[in-house]
Structure 1
Amino acid sequence: MTLTDIKFSEFLKDFEKTLKYLFHEKEDINKLSLNRGLPPELLNQILAERPLSVAIPEEYGGRGSIVKECLGILAAASYESLPLSLTFGINIALFLEPVSKYADDSVKQGIFSRFLENQNMGGLMITEPDYGSDALNMKTMHQEEADGYRIKGTKHWQGLTGLADFWIIAARKTLDNGELGRDIDFFISDNSINEQKVVVEELYDNAGLYMIPYGLNKLDLKVPASYRLHPETTGIKMMLDILHRSRMQFPGMGMGFIKRMLDEAMAHCTNRIVGNGNLMAIDQVQYSISRMQSAYTICSAMCAKSSEISGITHNLATEGMEANTMKAVVTDLMQECSQLLVQLSGANGYRISHIGGRGIMDSRPFQIFEGSNEMLYAQIAEMITRSMKKQKQLNLFDFLKELSLTSEACLHFKDDLSFTISQALSQRKLVDLGKILARIICVSYVLDLGKKGFRNDLVQNCIDTVRHEVAALMCSFKFENNVQVIEGYTEQSSWLKFV
């Protein structure tokens, strides 16, 4: 019997049961979350269920790299533990899928077998100490040798530092003049082989996501020629394809997390009695939980959309608009939902052992890594304004009405969007505009999901919630604010002198 003979619903149910047993009966997830890393035997028991098989092609013994299944596993994990879900997300989107799509056929079987049979894991190395989001200027270099490639450099903030068995490493070619080439190449390294072993120089004291080790990695590796990934065109486009696919899988990690925040909030507010009624009878509580339900609806719609468009058969290098939207909006929603749960929970929420308090710290870096949200929102706005300029269309609503991605959704925001953009926007205005556009795109996902039968009351409440948010963002966008940093601000600014 192969893995694909098991219906996904059964596979997922068994996995959820395993997590519930391991985290709530055998161990206490609230106590585990206070420690660095997961106990190896516990991690092995989780991986023994072969959750990562969802990202391995069927011909290599996996379940077939079906996006719906990948997102389902991520959601199941994040309902219990966001760090565990991110561990899976790193393995799936940043290692297994790139290997499936771009690696030499001669190395795939060996790698995938170790994932299925030996609970191996893998990650991706791009970020460097001096080059975070500026990946195109990375200094890690590679040089071709007789029987492979020599790779030298320094990487940091890689999730699973010191824990992953395999890495995909980004590097630039050393040219004859000593300079580095403009394109980026990717190589697999196997940490079980001495000359491919990554040296961990430091483990970081990350403030959240305690289960996942991060750190500083020194590279001086020699990898065989067959371990180089093969792009369809250029290495930069391969990197964009990988990163955009990863961003489109963020809704999977967000789905279980947001549902958990919502379930905890509803249970607490239903059972907590204040005066003659429970918290749920309070208007402000209704407003807060309705926002969490809106987040649940948006994330559900993103998962459905991602399942349709982000498989490895698609090249996502040019799909920055939707990739940025999914990543930025869902991570904002994750942080908001954890903040709301803590607020509703009172003092008890402000504990690391509380799912809400822990959720604030665990979800916060999601707004930063793989492109900070401000940068992604600005890019969304730049894509739209650039297209408007090219088409010589100045009215935002008229443009969005003709754009397939927003043609239906924008009708709900006509009053807010009926204005012209006739001049270049400052970066802070681009961020505001990007937030607005991203939320309108999300409404288009929600409308699509509603047509498939998703419950209508959640859809309508979500649209009203987003309309409220867009109206507030429009006030920010239209407000003239050119405030600059004041140098030497401490002169004549001590209040003690004026009392």
Structure 2
Amino acid sequence: MSQTIGHVDFKTYIDDFAKHLRELFRNEYDFNKISLNRDLPADFKAKIMAKNPLAVAIPELHGGRGVNVKECLGVLSAASYESLSLSLMFGINIALFLEPLAKYGQYSVQERIFKKFLEDKAMGGLMITEKLYGSDALNMKTSYQETEGGYKINGEKHWQGLSGAADFWLVTARKANANGDLVRDIDFFVTDDNISDQHIPMVERYNNFGLFAIPYGINQIDITVPEDQKLQPESTGLKLMLDMLHRSRLQFPGMGLGFIKRLMDESLEHCQNRIVGGAPLANLDAVKYQLSRIQAAYTICSGMCHYSSSNSGIDKDLASSAVEANTLKALITDLMQESAQIALQLAGANGYRLDHFAGRAVIDSRPFQIFEGSNEMLYGQIADAILKQMRKSKETSLVNFLANHPNASESIHYFANQLNFTIDSAVSQRDAVTLGRMIARVISFQFVLNMNGYNSQLVELTRQHMASDIAMFVGQYMSANTSNPIFEYQDNSDWSNFA
């Protein structure tokens, strides 16, 4: 290894890493200009990786720091303070490759691949998504058949971060029976792109709207892997996938924290120094509201990191943790986008430049609300899970049910007046999404309350913003909006005929 970090205490390591990134991004390179180009320059990337940041997700047995979630979140946060693209690159490697390999991979494969990460600064990714089956992973068509000593895998994947750039992949496929039918379960295979039989070419590169540092495209799969490169699920491949995806969603706040903190720091400084009408912009009441929204997002994200650090390790089985995982992923990515929009607005015309941090932040944070499950889908799943539990317990009062939920029992009292209504009939999909948005805020505020000794002023302003949000969503829920689009809308819809 170029640098042994296993015995360096984490505070020393992360402080050094953050300083290293700041020097690279702001002094040695002008990242605001580099970020307008596709991919990171090779020498720039090499200097970033010289500190072995991915060692936090490698077991000590294999020379890493031990897959400690607090450390993984710290690396993601340090990276996102400078670049959301870089943090996502690390997030893909940590949550979607290294952690599942550490938990489900065979020792011989772990030993070889982890060594490549530590010594050669290799990178890995995950291939699930297919063109016709985005979030409908259970219907994927990539298939495999057993061969002598291994597996033959065929199919096509797309929208994988690091397409054409990763050294290793986790590829998902369904077993093909003798008659060609695909079984329902899903299996995972490790591939080594440097071995010709396992090489997965990117046959088309996408012109992605943001996150320019990360290549995306269409990947054609026609490979053969040895049998020891199949992950070993504890029960089914489906549960392995849920465990992995829920762990990834629970660690999204690591990417969110540094990103939101940078937006907060930049916006606070700008509004204190920008003079309007002889006084700082920060003196305006509407601006105070906007700044405090970003601070509430920062506080919620901090509570999420605190929760995740104790509840998303590879020693945990997260297959059934959908409510918590979906809550963290959906809410923090919504707050990331909102914080970026506020920062852009406060920055004025300058913020609209592609090479301004706020301008890039709006574009780069937007897909976070879409990938790994669109937020509307996740909020709906949160509500569906809670409503199912309510029906099972024969409880119709939302506030009463949440008062007995382990991750809402303390926070619900702050929002009891708004949520004091009954749900005694079927809920439409659109209303389920709205319910999910409310529930996610109640649960997330409890994560804030669990940080004993955390800044009480930040906690209070966060409570006020969560209460305002919930009141707004209750109004939306109670409005009984059943409007549907009119596809043949042309009749009597041209205003000029009525002028």
Counterpart residue number, 2:47: 45
Structure 2 counterparts to residues 176-325 of structure 1, below 5 A:
176-325=178-327
Cα-to-partner distance string for 1:138-184 (whole Å, 9 max, x where unaligned): 00000000120000000000000011000000000001221000000
Letter in 1 for 2:491: E
Counterpart residue number, 2:60: 58
Residue 464 in structure 1 maps to residue 467 in structure 2: no
Counterpart residue number, 2:474: 474
- SS of the residue corresponding to residue 329 of structure 1 reads helix
Percentage of identical aligned residues: 53
Residue 11 in structure 1 maps to residue 13 in structure 2: yes
- Give, in whole Å, the separation in 1 of the partners of 2:195 and 2:373: 32
Distance apart, 1:24 and its partner CA = 1.1
Q: TM-score, normalised by structure 1?
A: 0.99
Cα-to-partner distance string for 1:403-443 (whole Å, 9 max, x where unaligned): 11111100011111111101010000000000000000011
Residue 143 in structure 1 maps to residue 145 in structure 2: yes
Distance apart, 1:480 and its partner CA = 1.0
Letter in 2 for 1:90: I
- SS of the residue corresponding to residue 311 of structure 1 reads coil
- Give, in whole Å, the separation in 1 of the partners of 2:496 and 2:220: 50
- Give, in whole Å, the separation in 2 of the partners of 1:128 and 1:229: 20
Distance apart, 1:358 and its partner CA = 0.5
Counterpart residue number, 1:33: 35
- SS of the residue corresponding to residue 211 of structure 1 reads coil
Letter in 1 for 2:495: W
Structure 2 counterparts to residues 425-464 of structure 1, below 5 A:
425-449=427-451, 451=452, 453-464=453-464
Structure 2 counterparts to residues 311-350 of structure 1, below 5 A:
311-350=313-352
- SS of the residue corresponding to residue 37 of structure 1 reads coil
Partner residue of 1:123 out of 102, 122, 125 = 125
Cα-to-partner distance string for 1:446-482 (whole Å, 9 max, x where unaligned): 1101x2x111111111111100110011000111111
Partner residue of 1:375 out of 370, 374, 377 = 377
Q: After the TM superposition, which of the residue ranges 335-344 and 8-17 deviates more from structure 2?
A: 8-17
Letter in 2 for 1:247: R
Letter in 2 for 1:433: L
- Give, in whole Å, the separation in 2 of the partners of 1:4 and 1:114: 16
- Give, in whole Å, the separation in 2 of the partners of 1:345 and 1:2: 42
- SS of the residue corresponding to residue 180 of structure 1 reads coil
Counterpart residue number, 1:154: 156
- Give, in whole Å, the separation in 2 of the partners of 1:419 and 1:163: 52
Counterpart residue number, 1:133: 135
Counterpart residue number, 2:406: 404
Q: Alignment length, in residue pairs?
A: 497
- SS of the residue corresponding to residue 31 of structure 1 reads helix
Cα-to-partner distance string for 1:223-265 (whole Å, 9 max, x where unaligned): 0000000000000000000000000110000000000000010
- SS of the residue corresponding to residue 169 of structure 2 reads strand
Distance apart, 1:2 and its partner CA = 4.7
- SS of the residue corresponding to residue 365 of structure 1 reads helix
- Give, in whole Å, the separation in 1 of the partners of 2:54 and 2:319: 24
- Give, in whole Å, the separation in 2 of the partners of 1:446 and 1:26: 37
Structure 2, gaps ≥5 residues long: none
- Give, in whole Å, the separation in 2 of the partners of 1:60 and 1:403: 39
Distance apart, 1:190 and its partner CA = 0.2
- SS of the residue corresponding to residue 3 of structure 1 reads coil
Counterpart residue number, 1:111: 113
- SS of the residue corresponding to residue 415 of structure 2 reads helix
- State the 4+ residue runs in structure 1 displaced beyond 6 angstroms: none
Letter in 2 for 1:45: K
Letter in 2 for 1:143: Q
- Give, in whole Å, the separation in 1 of the partners of 2:213 and 2:342: 24
- SS of the residue corresponding to residue 170 of structure 1 reads strand
Partner residue of 1:390 out of 385, 389, 392 = 392
Cα-to-partner distance string for 1:50-80 (whole Å, 9 max, x where unaligned): 0000000001000000000000000000000
Q: TM-score, normalised by structure 2?
A: 0.99
- Give, in whole Å, the separation in 2 of the partners of 1:386 and 1:16: 44
Distance apart, 1:16 and its partner CA = 1.1
Counterpart residue number, 1:353: 355
- SS of the residue corresponding to residue 417 of structure 2 reads helix
- Give, in whole Å, the separation in 1 of the partners of 2:317 and 2:106: 18
Q: After the TM superposition, which of the residue ranges 3-12 and 283-292 deviates more from structure 2?
A: 3-12
- SS of the residue corresponding to residue 493 of structure 1 reads coil
Letter in 1 for 2:226: P
